[in-house]
Amino acid sequence: MKYIIETWGCQMNEHDSEVLAGMLADLGYKRTDDEMDADVMLLNTCCVREKAESKVLGRLGLLKKLKQNNPDVILGVCGCMMQQPAMADRIKKRMPHMDLVFGTHNIHELPQMINEAKASRTTHIQVWPEQGEVKEGLPIKRTHGIKAFVNIMYGCNNFCTYCIVPYVRGRERSRLSKEILVEIKDLVNDGYREIMLLGQNVNSYGKDLQDEGDFADLLKAVNEIKGLDRIRFMTSHPRDFNLRLVNTLASCNKVCEHYHLPIQAGSSRILKKMNRGYTKEEYLELISQIKDRVPHASITTDIIVGFPGETEEDFDDTMEVISKVRFDGAYTFLYSSRPNTPAAKISEQVPQELKKKRFQKLLALQNSITEEINKQLIGQTLPVLFEGTSKNDDTVLMGRTRTNKIVHVSGHAELIGKIVDVNIQGAQMFSLSGKII
């Protein structure tokens, strides 16, 4: 019996897919890359922007053929998109070839749902409207062998006015630190070298629990784990990124010097409308505190272009912040109106053409900065943790610096999982190249 899982969206979804894969493996299913060969096919979906959603709907339509070829295949769709009101019914009505529809809160029910789907051929809808307790102990089949995702919390309480995530992922729930630490220790015993702590807003960690420390305390505890080399985390919220945390980052030797700190917009007026809870000046102050204590820190960000009511002046503020901070990289998005979010109800939506024009301008500026920063690394010798071989050439190794820059070198596969000094000799926009010394 074989399975295939297609995943859209963020690391959170990728990690949920690792849990789905773990449950399928426990049921005796093996992974395949060939959908014609699959007995179970799951689509784990994202709804953060409309584009992701329309791609999923198109993909679901195409699966009808798969069902016609093999009526026994179990087709399931899950994830954030399914948590939206009326979505499950819409799928049932328009895509009767789908067997299972479930949401983000009950992925642990997959084994029972598969049994139900085998027993009767109608579309089974099992979407929980609300989050349940944090589930511990689910099996996980990890995609990578060197670095592992570890959830530290679920959900989000921030309600940024453009964002659908709090509606589809529920309120913040932190895992107990003892559960997190046991999971990481086990991973280290299994040979993992790097841990990525995951949460929609990791800086809120512990706020919902009694007798638990905060995110800085958790980082300190993870930093003590013997045999672990690198710690990363995402995503941070600038509002909750306090000085104590900055000092903790500087003092924990395993915490990598790369921080993803979404700014979303450079204009304080727009930040207020977005309900982000900080101003442009406060964000710049935070960056200067970080750079002061961790001088070679790499900082990346998310930026939304064309939030409702964004004027040329607001956009110029964003351009100014990009020039001032000199981000190592930025994920840039065209604002996408999401159903039932407060921003969708604002009447002054920015025309699509204008959004695209601003987006191109911003991308050109950010790309030139990224390239300049990467070029400055030429000649330096940096420790690189090798994760695997290059997609196109298995004599080329792919690894990352502590600052999260991808590095390609030619080398032997036995270096995978090792940290090796590399002299950087070339720099492109998305990767560096070098020589092992």
Site residues, ligand 5AD (CB under 6 A): 48-49, 162-163, 262, 264, 302, 304, 333, 335-336, 338
Q: Which is nearer to ligand SF4, 239 or 361 (CB)?
A: 239
Q: Please state the φ and ψ torsions of residue 212, each to the nearest 5 degrees.
A: -115, 150
The alpha carbon of 420 is separated from its chain's Cα centroid by a whole number of angstroms, namely 27
Q: Which is nearer to ligand SF4, 84 or 201 (CB)?
A: 201
How wide is the angle at C-alpha 64 spanned by C-alphas 23 and 123, nearest 5°? 55
CB of 344 to ligand SF4, least distance (A): 14
Cis peptide before 311 (omega within 30 of 0): no
Q: How far apart are CA 174 and CA 205, in angstroms?
A: 6
What DSSP string runs through 381-394?
EEEEEEEEE-SS-T
**β-strand partners of 41:** 4, 75
Q: Is 163 in the site for ligand SF4 (CB under 6 A)?
A: yes
Q: Is 330 in the site for ligand SF4 (CB under 6 A)?
A: no
Q: Which is nearer to ligand SF4, 237 or 358 (CB)?
A: 237
Q: How far apart are CA 381 and CA 386, in angstroms?
A: 15
Give the interface segment with ligand SF4, choosing from 98-106, 158-166, 180-188, 375-383 (CB under 6 A). Answer: 158-166
Please state, as a whole number, how many other Cβ atoms lie within 10 Å of the Cβ of residue 369: 18
Q: How far apart are CA 195 and CA 177, in angstroms?
A: 15
Give the interface segment with ligand SF4, choosing from 153-161, 210-218, 279-287, 369-377 (CB under 6 A). Answer: 153-161
Closest to 192 (Cα-Cα) out of 238, 143, 154? 143
Which partner, ligand 5AD, ligand SF4, none, binds residue 329 by CB below 5 to 8 Å per kind?
none
CB of 237 to ligand SF4, least distance (A): 5
Q: How far apart are CA 346 and CA 215, in angstroms?
A: 35
CB of 89 to ligand 5AD, least distance (A): 23
Give the burial string for 103-129 (b: 16+ CB within 10 Å, else e). Answer: bbbbbebbeebbeebeeeeebbbbbee
Show the binding pattern over residues 106-145: x = contacts ligand SF4 (CB under 6 A), - = does not: ----------------------------------------
Q: Which is nearer to ligand 5AD, 11 or 279 (CB)?
A: 11
Q: Is 318 in the site for ligand SF4 (CB under 6 A)?
A: no
Cα separations (Å) of 173 from 12, 138, 230, 279, 429? 14, 17, 25, 27, 37
By CB under 6 A, name the one of 45, 104, 123, 158 that touches ligand SF4: 158
188-217 positions binding ligand SF4, by CB under 6 A: 200-201
Q: Which is nearer to ligand 5AD, 29 or 359 (CB)?
A: 359
Q: Is 166 in the site for ligand SF4 (CB under 6 A)?
A: yes
Question: Residue number with the shortest CB distance to ligand 5AD?
Answer: 302
Q: Which tokens is 201 given? A: 């807003």
CB of 25 to ligand 5AD, least distance (A): 29
Q: Is 156 in the site for ligand SF4 (CB under 6 A)?
A: yes
Which partner, ligand 5AD, ligand SF4, none, binds residue 307 by CB below 5 to 8 Å per kind?
none
Closest to 160 (Cα-Cα) out of 220, 206, 200? 200
Q: What residue ranges bind ligand SF4 (CB under 6 A)?
A: 156, 158-160, 163, 165-166, 200-201, 237
